Chains A and B, each alone.
Chain A
């Protein structure tokens, strides 16, 4: 009993000792855990809170609302419209197969479209929105709405998209938008920044040039998502900024008339304010409907546009390099006067052809014009006269004057990336480009706007405008308030003697308003509308002796071999305000094809002048 009880005591001592050790250990471990908790929850709280938010919050960007284009009078020429779309979220659909086949029937989808949708569905997550149709007609949209009871999980959605109400009228000015591709995203940082699937960006024209201003910024939706990426609730909606609305100098009415005049023909019309350089109209024909591109053009329609022999994709106003033909003559005459080569009374006898340097140079009038002074030569567009003064002037002096008046270089600078320079040749150029010496004969044909010389219609318009305004430099512009760089040399005189400009203006007046003038038949006698101009007929192919003998009428020549018809003019003559250039590809003859268009244009432009001015005054009053 004693031994047992002493054993009990030692046992109790042992267990209590060990209990003490254990308790101390427990205490330290407990402190360890609490300090770990303190470390995670108090000290590192910020870090883990951020991580937790990163876990749970996901952002969705929505397509920004693109800025509009408006014409001078505020009409929307590239706007936004509500596109009717059908969205399906596959996981919310009980029987996806049934719904999709039902939709196929209702929307009359082709097998190709249908397979495309199925493919897209496979690529998406089941809770991601599947766009079944991005631009439904109202009929189909309402049809779907009527069948919604049968289409569980199908959501009719109204989304905002680009719309060009004037269809082909403005295509070559503002261009079009279409889905951004990899190249767009790669090359333009603002597209990269605002990119969302389905984003439409400018592909050509001003839509592309002003992408940064037009694009706006995304609406941002912040959602709480779970571990599988499913949206649980919306936390925030951050409204994006709408893209900037750009106002153009163009008058839609004039632009529409230009389109109408060039209907079924290939060509270009531009109209310009000779003092401000504002473009009133700028059209290249044939054009195409930019709306086709917004949701992706179909292969058939694309082939139609691409294979059209009149080349609708080409912006002829800016990209078309044409021989100016006789429309260059005012510059040739001006250059000769300015350089003191001739005076207005300088006379040449035209016999219909000139033999020189073993070549025969023909005047357009076989029987010849007889004795011609400067005014008459311009009026009747006598080629022989201009061969002679060009020969005396030399190509280098001619090119200097031509370049001064805006020929041979881009009119809009960087505004359009497609714009071409044209070509004003001189001896140096030929040596550099072709490695050959300049021939005197080449100077002579340059004098009537043939040979190497090439200009774009917009350059001819600028040239005419600068003659019309008395010889002062202007900078054409299309977009109001977007000409950031103030040009210092604006309105500097381009002439040596202003009298010479008056002489040229008067000669052009005679060409339109006096008997025997080449565009006499297109004149307007009313002083309010009276204009002065110069016709041009640019040869497309060299005229052989055989052709001369045949002397075919325009309609008898195959289309591709017909001459281009050109016309440049300004008006009203007494108080010039507007200049224009017209080009009709293979139009045959400047005086019969191009000049009559000018008559209609001037009538409308001058009629609308006061309206235009009133808008301008109002603009100032608003400020």
Chain B
């Protein structure tokens, strides 16, 4: 105890902080960044064009930002938990009113120097907010009606704001991030079971409320061949690309499906398809392994964190990242209907990368400050 409190008092100097870095995690993130850059280069047809340049800049800026975030003491992250949540919620409201319309939805907000997708950031900051909320809570209070209701409101508010954009995929991901925190905070199993049952029962009604294009996606998922050139096109072409990759892949820059423009959305949601076509089963397995190591390191950092806040954040963030990856891959492999969900780091998109890198930054900060207890 004393030892701990003594260490607490000591502010770590920069050198010690650098020493405390989780280098395995850092290397994996950098490796992922490199792979994503190479893949982006391939989507540009083997040239350094807009997407590659833009992706590189974002990657560089956000990696630096992540490292900077690592040096910020975890207790400061704790202290901005509610504030950041509120700030992004306000941005979401602004998006609703002043957002940039594109292809029928308002997801972006013009911040004068940058166009931002606040819903992506919400995926991280909802974890931060809820982690703070549960940090000091006694276990017996966690299951009180008041707590549950409050946390539900915290989840439902941004969900609702994102659904109206409309962006069903992201709102589901936000909800999953929130639910992950509730799960680790110790909310009773029965609530999860009831929610799941309720969800399954109400599924037909939910489908009835879906927009026509969303219904089409569900139908194409169930049977892609019902409209191979229309709604089923993406999933069919994506499966062809992955399947034709084989064990060793067609080779870098030789993915015919993407090169010849059969692949839809190859920069963003379907980037894994291109990677998988060019690098095959072995490449895909290696990519999955890198993701697995990242998630494993996040969990280990959480386990080794002294503060409950850091623990719950790391666990929930790790679970969320895992869910993002799972949903994206299941989608491109034809295991789930198509919902817009990027593959962390790999997919092109600044807001998504900003959010993910911020998450990594906070995790790294928990690692660097793992002996920090939060009052």
Binding site for B on A (CB under 8 A): 7-8, 10-12, 14-16, 18-19, 22-23, 26, 29-30, 33-34, 36-38, 40-42, 44-45, 47-49, 51-52, 55-56, 224-228, 232
Query: Can you list 17 pairs linking A and B with CB atoms under 8 Å apart?
Result: A7-B139, A11-B139, A14-B139, A18-B184, A22-B315, A22-B319, A26-B295, A34-B288, A36-B335, A37-B242, A37-B284, A40-B242, A41-B243, A48-B240, A55-B262, A225-B260, A228-B261
Contact of A49 with B246 in the complex, beta carbons under 8 Å: yes
Contact (Cβ within 8 A) A44 B184: no
Bound complex: CA A30 to CA B11 (Å)? 40
A48 touches B312 (CB 8 A): no
What residues of A have a CB within 8 angstroms of the CB of B333 in the complex? 33, 36-37, 40
Q: Which residues of B contact A12 (CB under 8 A)?
A: 308
Q: Report if B138 contacts A (CB, 8 A).
A: yes
Q: A52-B241, A55-B257 are in contact. List 11 more A-B contacts (CB 8 A).
A: A11-B139, A11-B308, A29-B326, A33-B288, A33-B329, A36-B330, A40-B239, A42-B246, A48-B239, A48-B244, A224-B260
Whether A19 touches B315, Cβ cut-off 8 Å, given contacts A26-B295, A33-B326, A49-B246, is yes
Structural contact, B247 and A33, CB atoms closer than 8 A: no
Query: B259 → chain A, closest Cβ, in Å?
Result: 8
- Taking beta carbons and an 8 Å cutoff, which residues of B are in contact with A? 138-139, 183-186, 237, 239-247, 256-257, 259-262, 276, 280-281, 284-285, 288, 292, 295, 299, 302-303, 308, 311-312, 315, 319, 322, 326, 329-330, 333, 335
Residues in chain A near residue B281, CB distance under 8 A: 37-38, 41-42
- Say how far A79's CB is from chain B's closest CB, in angstroms: 42
Chain A residue at smallest Cβ distance from B185: A15
Residue among B183, B247, B284, B312 making CB contact with A22, cutoff 8 Å: B183
Instruction: Quote the shortest CB–CB distance from B237 to chain A (angstroms).
Output: 8
Q: Which of B260, B311, B312 contacts A227 (CB 8 A)?
A: B260
Q: A30-B292, A40-B333 are in contact. Are A18 and B186 (CB under 8 A)?
A: yes
**Other-chain contact of A23, B186, B256, B299 (Cβ < 8 Å):** B299
Q: Are B184 and A45 in contact (CB under 8 A)?
A: no
Complex CA–CA separation, A37 to B239 (angstroms):
10
Give complex CA distance A42, B311 in Å: 39
A15 / chain B contacts, CB cutoff of 8 Å: 184-186, 308, 311-312, 315
- Report the nearest B residue to A50, measured CB to CB: B244
The complex places the Cα of A194 from the Cα of B183 at a distance, in Å, of 68
- Choose among A44, A49, A56 the residue that contacts B260 (Cβ–Cβ < 8 A): A56
Q: B247 near A226 (CB under 8 angstroms)?
A: no
Residue of B nearest to A4 (CB): B138
Q: In the complex, A40 Cα to B241 Cα: how many Å? A: 10
Would A52 and B303 be within 8 Å (CB), given that A8-B308, A30-B292, A37-B333 are in contact? no
A508 CB to closest chain B CB (Å) equals 78
A583 to chain B, nearest CB (A): 65
Q: Could you tell me the distance in whole angstroms from the C-beta of B285 to the nearest C-beta in chain A?
A: 6
Beta-carbon contact of B138 and A7 below 8 Å: yes
A22–B138 alpha-carbon span in the complex (Å): 22
Cβ B244 vs Cβ A52 within 8 A: yes
Residues of chain B within 8 A (CB-CB) of A10 are: 139
Complex: A232 Cα to B254 Cα, angstroms: 13
Q: What residues on B are CB-neighbors of A40 within 8 Å?
A: 239, 242-243, 333
* Chain A positions within 8 Å of B262 at CB level: 55-56, 226-227
Smallest CB-CB separation from B281: which chain A residue?
A41
A41 neighbours in B (Cβ, 8 Å)? 242-243, 245-247, 276, 280-281, 284
How far is B335's CA from A226's CA once the two chains are assembled, in angstroms? 27
Residues of chain A within 8 A (CB-CB) of B259 are 226
Q: How far is the CA of A56 from the CA of B299 in the complex (A)?
A: 44
* Given A19-B315, A41-B247, A48 contacting B303 (CB threshold 8 A): no
A232 and B284 in contact, given A18-B183, A23-B299 (Cβ under 8 angstroms): no
How many angstroms between the C-alpha atoms of A226 and B184 in the bound complex? Answer: 49
Bound together, the chains give a CA A226 to CA B258 distance in angstroms of 9
CA A296 to CA B353, docked complex, whole Å: 65
Taken together as a complex, chains A and B put the C-alpha atoms of A226 and B240 apart, in Å, by 15
| A49→B335 contact, CB < 8 A | no
B303 touches A224 (CB 8 A): no
Give complex CA distance A37, B241 in Å. Answer: 12
Nearest residue, chain B, Cβ from A40: B243
Task: State A8–B288 Cα separation when bound (angstroms).
Answer: 35
Partner of A49, one of B243, B311, B322: B243
- Asked if A19 contacts B244 (CB within 8 A), the reply is no
Contacts of B185 in A (CB 8 A): 15
Given A8-B308, A14-B186, A40-B333, is A232 in contact with B260 using a C-beta cutoff of 8 Å? Answer: yes
* Across the A-B interface, the 9 shortest Cβ-Cβ residue pairs: A48-B243, A52-B244, A226-B260, A41-B281, A14-B186, A227-B261, A48-B244, A40-B243, A45-B246
The reply to whether A47 and B243 contact each other, CB–CB distance below 8 Å, is yes
Contact residues in B for A11 (Cβ distance below 8 Å) = 138-139, 186, 308
The reply to whether A45 and B247 form a contact with Cβ atoms under 8 Å apart is yes
Closest-CB distance, A486 to chain B (whole angstroms)? 56
Could you say which of A26, A41, A49 has the most chain B C-beta atoms within 10 Å of its C-beta?
A41
Q: Cβ of A23: which chain B residues have Cβ within 8 Å of it?
A: 299
CB of A16 to closest CB in B, whole Å: 8
Q: Is the CB of A55 within 8 A of B240?
A: yes
Q: Measured between C-beta atoms, what is the minimum distance from A26 to chain B in Å?
A: 5
- Tell me the bound Cα distance from A228 to B260 in angstroms: 9
Please, which residues of chain B bring their CB within 8 A of the CB of A34?
Answer: 285, 288
Contacts A36-B333, A41-B281, A42-B281 known; A224 to B256 CB distance under 8 Å? yes
- CB-CB under 8 A from B284, the residues of chain A are 37, 41
Once bound together, how far apart are the Cα atoms of A168 and B172, in whole Å? 81
B371 CB, min distance to chain A CBs, angstroms:
16
Chain B residues with CB below 8 A from A226, complex form = 259-262
Contact of B257 among A45, A52, A225 (CB under 8 A): A52
